[in-house]
A = this chain, B = another copy of it.
């Protein structure tokens, strides 16, 4: 960013935004505006250009200019005069240069968002190299419309990978590639709602697809967006309580009796989302027995099973009952959510119905990305990345456990045998909204467990803290600040 010299210059000439750099355009814009006011380059009482005009001149969105003006209004650099526009505030010029700390810390310095792997270690070079090979060798047909079920090369590579890593019984023909777990939920809700379970998905589904509606049992707590997505696509929902042995699947019979019928149970056996407990052995068995007896489907969300630290992972449930289990995974926790690639391993009778819904939703995936991932899987780069990540995350998990012991003496950490997040039980219920706000003031992002319940709890002692995307020192400092924030709640 440079601010050109001159006084009372048109504002758009004072702002030069650096595209594609490390800093967001908005923060560059706000800095430039502040500096222009501070240094008197636009004078006190001078009217600022209309947001639309400035946005057009700068080639940024109007929303960004509106937000930047609002920010500087709040900060006192600018004043609004009714409907008459925005002006430079009296006294704002030649103000002492404000230190950075006084500006509101919008991007959180210590964000314990549970959904991220370590974004900095995304294997940019490997990805680029794999794409280069794909572009050199891929046949022309791979530039046409993709296979609705996913590129055959990727389905084959995934079948081998999932067999080796997770004991999944995976025929490439039973795999449907999708953009992630959310899309998988939509496709399944619609396919099951259209009668796929009774084997007549293509013939009898009503126009509208999801009109019939399926009924699914979900773990409680779970992730609210998943509930919203399923409900939006016609699924009715019941809930399975979760305790320290995982989902209480022995209640599925009673739940089904109340609901009339349950088409499937969505579970996270390896590492319950979000509580982090593993499904107990006898419950794994009970779940598959329920599926066999009641004819229900198990939707096995294996979202972070690549990471287990203290003992060998159990294989996926799917390997024990491939005709009764839909296995679900993504690269969001292994490579990056931005790639938007995931997969379903389906009982063969469901493949056509799910693929039909993918077609009807226009949800085929970019072929080059799929072939690139297939190369990474086949060439060993993916496994190598996982091995490195596992070491890194174990150290970060340990750092979190240490930091909580040091800074939050009454608190207890659970759910850390696997995955990328921990549950921190604070030892006393706190008001979620106040804590989130107080932590944010200290630059810390925290995620209350109370929000994850089907009936959200405003007060709860639990926090869901992701540690994979923070360095060990950042984890320590983040927990230290969280402890300080807690004294204010």
Binding site for B on A (CB under 8 A): 19-22, 24-25, 59-63, 107, 115-116, 119-120, 122, 124, 127-128, 131-133, 135-146, 152-153, 155-156, 160, 171-173, 178-186, 207-210, 213, 225, 228-229, 231-234, 332, 336-341, 359-369, 375, 378
Q: Which residues of B have CB within 8 Å of A22?
A: 137, 139
Q: Which residues of B have CB within 8 Å of A21?
A: 137
Contact in complex: B233, A209 (CB < 8 Å): yes
Contact in complex: B361, A340 (CB < 8 Å): no
A141–B234 CA distance with the chains assembled, in angstroms: 33
- Distance to closest chain B CB from A256 (angstroms): 21
Contact in complex: A137, B20 (CB < 8 Å): yes
| SS of A interface (majority) | helix
Q: Which residues of B have CB within 8 Å of A138?
A: 20
A359–B341 CA distance with the chains assembled, in angstroms: 16
Give 9 A-B pairs besides A183-B363, A368-B369 with Cβ atoms closer than 8 angstroms. A22-B137, A62-B173, A115-B145, A144-B337, A207-B231, A225-B359, A232-B360, A339-B368, A341-B366
- Select from chain B the residue with minimum beta-carbon distance to A182: B362
A144–B107 CA distance with the chains assembled, in angstroms: 14
Known A184-B362, A233-B208, A362-B182; judge A124-B135 contact (CB<8 A).
yes
A231–B363 CA distance with the chains assembled, in angstroms: 16
Contact in complex: A366, B363 (CB < 8 Å): no
Q: Which residues of B have CB within 8 Å of A132?
A: 128
- Distance to closest chain B CB from A474 (angstroms): 13
Q: How many copies does the complex hold?
A: 2
Q: Which residues of B have CB within 8 Å of A375?
A: 20
A-B contact pairs, 19 of them (CB 8 A): A19-B378, A22-B137, A24-B139, A61-B155, A62-B173, A107-B141, A116-B144, A120-B140, A180-B364, A181-B362, A208-B213, A209-B232, A225-B359, A229-B360, A229-B361, A340-B364, A340-B366, A340-B367, A361-B363
Q: Which residues of B have CB within 8 Å of A233?
A: 208-209, 360-361
Q: Closest 9 interchain pairs by CB?
A: A182-B362, A183-B362, A338-B367, A143-B336, A232-B360, A119-B143, A61-B172, A124-B135, A340-B366
Query: A208 is contacted by which of B133, B156, B210, B360 (Cβ under 8 Å)?
Result: B210
- Distance to closest chain B CB from A351 (angstroms): 10
A341–B122 CA distance with the chains assembled, in angstroms: 23
Q: Which residues of B have CB within 8 Å of A364?
A: 179-180, 340
Query: A338 is contacted by which of B133, B146, B225 (Cβ under 8 Å)?
Result: B146
Query: A362 is contacted by which of B143, B145, B185 (Cβ under 8 Å)?
Result: B185
A178–B185 CA distance with the chains assembled, in angstroms: 19
- Residue from the set A24, A107, A339 with the largest chain B CB neighbour count within 10 Å: A339
Q: Which residues of B have CB within 8 Å of A141?
A: 107, 119
- Distance to closest chain B CB from A113 (angstroms): 8
Q: Which residues of B have CB within 8 Å of A231?
A: 207-208
Q: Which residues of B have CB within 8 Å of A210?
A: 208, 210
- Distance to closest chain B CB from A55 (angstroms): 8
Contact in complex: A337, B61 (CB < 8 Å): no
Q: Which residues of B have CB within 8 Å of A181?
A: 362
- Residue from the set A20, A59, A225, A367 with the largest chain B CB neighbour count within 10 Å: A20
Q: Which residues of B have CB within 8 Å of A232?
A: 207-209, 360
A127–B19 CA distance with the chains assembled, in angstroms: 19
- Distance to closest chain B CB from A342 (angstroms): 9
- Select from chain B the residue with minimum beta-carbon distance to A209: B232
Q: Which residues of B have CB within 8 Å of A336?
A: 143-144
Q: Which residues of B have CB within 8 Å of A153?
A: 19-20
Known A143-B122, A179-B363, A338-B144; judge A63-B135 contact (CB<8 A).
no
A61–B151 CA distance with the chains assembled, in angstroms: 12
- Residue from the set A139, A208, A361 with the largest chain B CB neighbour count within 10 Å: A361
